[in-house]
Amino acid sequence: MNSATLRSWGGAIAVSLPKKVLAALGLGAGAEVLVKIEGGNILLSPARKRFTLGQLEKEQRALERAAGRLPGGEDWTGSPSRGRELL
């Protein structure tokens, strides 16, 4: 189990986490975490950004363009059936 240190920082108290803990979670300075109090314990969890469908589609189109494919390409429609697909 790892321990962390509470330090005074301006008018607040900050938690200083070991580099190994941050690396294991893919976190670094400036990362946002969720703080929860549960059963007398303080729980810190990485705050993962939620994306809308529109944002994901936009990112997918950008990735397809970068890979040299047309966005929304229908490459799979010309291939023969391989199972019990219903067409």
Tens digit of each residue's pLDDT (9 = 90 or more) over 5-48: 899 989 999 988 889 988 998 899 988 999 999 999 999 998 88
Instruction: Write down the pLDDT at residue 78.
Output: 66
- Domains observed in the chain: 5-46 (2.10.260.10)
Instruction: Show the tokens assigned to 39.
Output: 């059963």
Q: Which tops the pLDDT comparison, 30 or 74?
A: 30
Could you give phi then psi for residue 9, rounded to 5 degrees? Answer: -145, 100
d(CA 54, CA 73): 17
